[in-house]
Structure 1
Amino acid sequence: MYFKFLLVVLVLSLTSCKTQHIDTSSVKAVNNKLPEFSWDKMPLYMHLRKATAFTKEEIKFIAKHPLITFEKTTGSKTFGSTEKGTIKAAKAVKKINPNAKILYYKNVVINWSGYQEDEVFLKEHPEAFLVDTKGKKTLMSNKKNGFFDISQQQVRSYWLNHVTKMTSNPEIDGVFLDANIKVLVPSFFKSRIGKEKQKEIETGYLSMMEELDKNLGNDNLLIANILRVRPEFKDAGRAYLKFFDGSYLEGFEHENFGMTYEDYLAKGIDAVQKSAREGNVITMSLGIGKALKNTKTGIDDKRKRLNKNNNFTKRLDYLLAIFLVCAEKYSYVYPHDGYGINTSAVWLKTFPQYEKPLGKPLEFAKREGYIYTRKFEHLDVWLDIKNKTAKLNYK
């Protein structure tokens, strides 16, 4: 990713300028795989799933977004598989907005149901399932879904061939890669399969991502669920961005590992700011509703059910302020109450904050303690992460 390297060099050379915002977008190499981007209004991302076919109204709404991830199970009940359902949905969106960039969801290790090719492969190669120290099939906490043993070359080859086939479809522009953190944080697999096998899985993953980047990275957008503040990660996992074009973010507020809420969030903001300034695509998923207690982070960013009649203004302003103190070109935000649209209270809604003029940033965000400020052409942002409040002052 040579354009990233050039951008990093330029940003480093300008670090002495602490208050003036420098627009580095002009030095980016022209790259057609990147999504459309504009500072005119709030840059939005879409991440969703629906097991049945989308309605015309839903497709029209989805097509308004420059970057879209169709999650696991998309269209699987109507069209017979996630593969077919995703392509059907992508084709419908492209008819309305040919410039929309659409990502195919593929987990790097979990065997989610609904994928026809996975079912065929595992039926022919049952040894591809990951087993525990007793030789039993290792399962997710839901006791239903297993894992691919990506320490095996044949499994990695299948995975890469599958992704290559999907992205070769003209309706698909890249891949959304999930569960990276499960593989890279030793505690998740070590308790199931032992330390030695866990390292083999991690090594297999790194090899697979290197091959993915080499084979598809020039023409396909590769976005991974990778940036996360964790004690096992140095610099919130930023080192792994070398394989990808950017990072999706979830669980941005509620994990803390013994830190205060504000300290945990400040570390996350710092990691995103650095990554965005280096030219990485950022897709920030932020929950409008509260995170459900005891939710297994990483299975889904599950949220408390919202009432459609609730006033979301204060919470939404706070989430958008978090995003805006981090955002650079190719940063997008998705405030939501869960990815399954059938249970969402905000699905098909457009909030006033999305339509108001934003304008280019005039500076990088300034921080004093737990308070952040940042000026845009048409908006001044004030954010207090200790007291969980924000002000969006439109000019």
Structure 2
Amino acid sequence: MKNYIIIFLAVVTICLGSCKSQKDTVVQKVSNTASSILPEFSWNTMPLYMHLRKDTEFTKEELNYLAKYPLITFEKTTGSKTYGSTEAGVIKAAEAVKKINPKAKVLYYKNVVINWPSYKEDEAFLKKHPEAFLVDSKEKKALMSNNKTGFFDLSQETVRSYWLEHVTKMANNPAIDGLFLDANIKVLVPSFFKSRVGTEKQKAVEVGYLSMMETLNSRLGKDNLLIANMLRVRPEFKDVGREYLNFFTGSYLEGFEHESFGMTYEDYLATGIEAVQTSAREGKVIAMSLGIGKALKNAEIGIDDTRQRITDNEDLSERLDYLLAIFLVCAEKYSYIYPHDGYGVKQSMVWLKTFPQYEKKLGAPKGYAKKEGYVYTRSFEHLDVVLDIKNKTATLNWK
């Protein structure tokens, strides 16, 4: 278990039978320790997030680069070719980062429903329980669009119990600070599973997921970061996914620009910005992932937020300023950004690199962003931001 539990028990033992002032001390210690699960945060420069995968061992240069980030998610397949599984690979990578920067917060990636390969414990469980796979009305395995990747049937208690035991074991490793939970939207948007398994089973999977998240929150939420891929502008959501954030410490964001659902680009983006602003102001951790390269079509066939490769000599300054402006009109304490061209570092042109905008002094915001039509403005100690989402332009005036 996490160190705070040991401290808590020790303090409670000392305070048994003691006076009210001593009880108040216990409450204060628990509160302070609980807040320590949050990543380090500073307005000094751009608050950055890292989200990546590499199926082989990280080099010393790569580890030194990673250790500079306050919040890191190691994706599926990480270290799996070198260490035999994602579980072992993530722990090895996390341990190596922590040796350089013990304050870095590391998240273990686990999909809530998709059976991605390279997880040794998943393979063992499914070999013993082949009935755990989600099947369609013809009793055939339901599959992703790649026609090979299956799903866990969350309507089964056995499946939910296994998933919770797995993530609890990983979260209790000293090198892991919490979980990154993916594909929540696939479970909560009915059309995804209805098309595969029908209405009744889709609803049962959704109910099973909600039960699983409630148990997860009560089991791990007090001493672990729980970051979900949740906030998304969808017509099926009552409040852009915010209605589910009570389960989690915060939300990761992807696909922030490219969907519309009949809305204009600017209306879609403005709705997302408002949701992020509200959640960030409520104290939720925000891990905003924004693509420098264009999103590829049929990205579901690939893995995650698949991006068009950018060239080494490509001028990215205008696009990067626009992405940073989107982030900055949303950001509050514990908000972080990762501009990227895909999560697989072997294909990325921004891996191991930095940009001048990351190094310049930022300073604390002087207030919330102001909005007039589709133009946002916000001032920081060392920067004035102007964002025009209708014309897709931004100006960063550094002082």
TM value normalised by structure 1:
0.92
* Counterpart residue number, 1:200: 204
Q: Is 1:130–2:134 an aligned residue pair?
A: yes
Corresponding residue number in structure 2 for 1:161: 165
Amino acid across the alignment from 2:351 = W
CA distance in 1, matches of 2:86, 2:192: 26
Tell whether 2:67 aligns with 1:39.
no
Any idea what SS the aligned residue of 1:223 has? Answer: strand
d(CA) in 1 for partners of 2:248, 2:334: 14
Cα contact 2:146–2:301 (8 A) shared by 1:
no
> What letter matches 2:164 in structure 1?
L
Structure 1, unaligned stretches of length 5 or more? 1-26
- Counterpart pick for 1:260 among 259, 264, 269: 264
Three-state SS of the structure 2 residue aligned to 1:175 is: strand
- Counterpart of 1:186, as a letter, is P
Structure 2 residue 72 is the aligned partner of structure 1 residue 71: no
Kept in 2, the 8 Å contact 1:229–1:236? The answer is yes
User: 1:134-153 to 2 correspondence within 5 Å?
Assistant: 134-153=138-157
Measured in 1, the distance between the counterparts of 2:33 and 2:337 equals 24
Q: 1:221 aligns with which of 206, 225, 230?
A: 225
Are 1:181 and 2:181 matched, yes or no? no
- Tell me which of 51, 60, 63 is aligned to 1:59: 63
Of the three residues 87, 93, 103, the one matched with 1:99 is: 103
Corresponding letter in the other structure for 1:233: F
Partner of 2:346: 342
Query: How far apart are 1:298 and its partner, in Å?
Result: 9.4
Alpha-carbon RMSD across the aligned residues, in angstroms, is 1.3
Distance 1:310 1:299 in 2: 24
Secondary structure of 2:37's match?
coil
* Structure 1: distance between partners of 2:211 and 2:118: 26
1:392 to 366, 374, 396: 396
Note if 1:246 corresponds to 2:246. Answer: no
Q: Which amino acid aligns with 1:375?
A: S
Q: Is 1:382 aligned to residue 386 of structure 2?
A: yes
Q: Following TM superposition, by how much is the alpha carbon of 1:29 offset from its aligned partner in structure 2, in angstroms?
A: 8.7
Shift of 1:278: 0.4
Instruction: Write the distance in 2 (CA, Å) between the matches of 1:362 and 1:323.
Output: 16
User: How far off its partner does 1:293 sit?
Assistant: 2.6
Query: Is residue 179–residue 298 contact of structure 1 (8 Å, CA) maintained in 2?
Result: no
Provide the residue aligned with 2:296 in structure 1.
292
Alignment match of 1:212 (pick from 216, 233, 242): 216
Matched, 1:362 2:366: yes
User: Is the 1:251–1:297 Cα contact (8 Å) retained in structure 2?
Assistant: no
Per-residue deviation at 1:290? 1.0
One-letter amino acid matched to 1:282: I
Residues of 1 paired with 2:72 and 2:297: CA distance? 28
Partner of 2:17: none
Q: Offset of 1:276 from its aligned partner?
A: 0.3
Amino acid at match of 1:205: Y
Given residue 307 of structure 1, which amino acid in structure 2 is its aligned partner?
A: T
Residue 150 of structure 1 deviates from its aligned partner by 0.8
Q: Deviation per CA, 1:25-65, whole angstroms, max 9, x where unpaired? A: xx999611100000000000000000111111111101100
Q: 2:56, 2:302 → 1: CA distance?
A: 24
From the superposition, tell whether residues 354 and 389 of structure 1 become closer, same or farther in structure 2 (CA, over 3 Å).
Answer: same
**1:171-196 alpha-carbon deviations (Å, 9 max, x no partner):** 00000000000000000000110100
Question: What is the CA–CA distance in structure 1 between the aligned matches of 2:136 and 2:34, rounded to whole Å?
Answer: 47
Q: Give the Å deviation of 1:289.
A: 0.7
Does 27-36 or 103-112 show the bigger shift? 27-36
Contact 2:34–2:222 (CA under 8 A) maintained in structure 1: no
Instruction: Give a deviation string over 1:262-285, Cα, whole Å, max 9, x none.
Output: 110000000000000000000000
Aligned to 2:15: none
Quick check: 1:67–1:102 contact (8 Å CA) kept in 2?
yes
Deviation at 1:145, TM superposition (A): 1.1
The amino acid that maps onto 2:331 is A
Q: CA deviation at 1:258?
A: 1.0
1:269-288 matches, cutoff 5 A = 269-288=273-292
- Residue type at the aligned position of 1:41: T
In structure 1, what is the equivalent of residue 14 of structure 2? none
Aligned counterparts of 2:261 and 2:394: Cα–Cα separation in 1: 25
3-state DSSP of counterpart to 1:342: coil
Please state if 1:324 is matched with 2:343: no
Q: Distance in 2 between matches of 1:119 and 1:220?
A: 26
Once residues 207 and 32 of structure 2 are traced to their aligned partners in structure 1, the CA distance between those partners, rounded to angstroms, is 32
TM-fit CA distance, 1:299: 4.7
Counterpart position of 1:234: 238
Could you tell me which amino acid in structure 2 is paired with residue 134 of structure 1? Answer: K
How far, CA to CA, are the matches of 1:297 and 1:134 in structure 2? 23
Mapped to 2, the partners of 1:270 and 1:28 lie a distance apart of 30
> Partner residue of 2:112?
108
| TM-score where L is the length of structure 2 | 0.91
Confirm or deny: 8 A CA contact 1:183 1:201 kept in the other structure. yes
Aligned to 2:194: 190
CA distance, structure 1, for counterparts of residue 34 and residue 54 of structure 2: 34
